[in-house]
C-alpha cells in the first residue's frame, strides 16, 4: 500500500508492465533521496556559518591606569 502511494506521488506510471514501473519508481526515489541529502548538507553548512563574522562587543568594566607619577 505505501509503495503504491509513494510511486504515484513520484509521477505517472512509466509503463504498463508493473516490474518496469517499479524499477522506474525506484530510480526516481534514489534521485529524490540524492536531492534531499544534498539539500540537508547545504542547509547545515549555512546554519553552521550563520553569524560567523559577527563582532562581539565586550565593554571594559574597569580601566587600569599604568602611568607612573
Confidence of residue 64 (pLDDT cuts 50, 70, 90): low
Q: Are 9 and 25 in contact (CB under 8 A)?
A: no
What distance in Å separates the CA atoms of residue 46 and residue 36, rounded to the nearest whole number? 15
Spell out the domain ranges in the chain. Answer: 16-47
Record the pTM. 0.64
Q: How far apart are CA 34 and CA 54, in angstroms?
A: 33
Banded model confidence at residue 49, pLDDT cuts 50, 70, 90: confident
CA distance 37 to 31: 10
Please determine, for residue 65, whether its predicted confidence score (pLDDT) is greater than 90.
no
Predicted pLDDT at 59: 67
Amino acid at each position: 500500500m505505501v509503495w503504491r502511494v509513494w510511486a504515484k506521488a513520484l509521477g505517472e506510471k512509466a509503463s504498463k508492465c508493473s516490474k518496469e514501473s517499479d524499477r522506474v519508481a525506484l530510480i526516481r526515489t534514489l534521485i529524490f533521496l540524492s536531492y534531499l541529502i544534498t539539500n540537508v548538507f547545504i542547509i547545515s553548512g549555512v546554519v553552521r556559518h550563520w553569524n560567523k563574522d559577527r563582532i562581539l562587543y565586550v565593554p571594559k568594566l574597569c580601566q587600569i591606569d599604568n602611568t607612573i607619577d
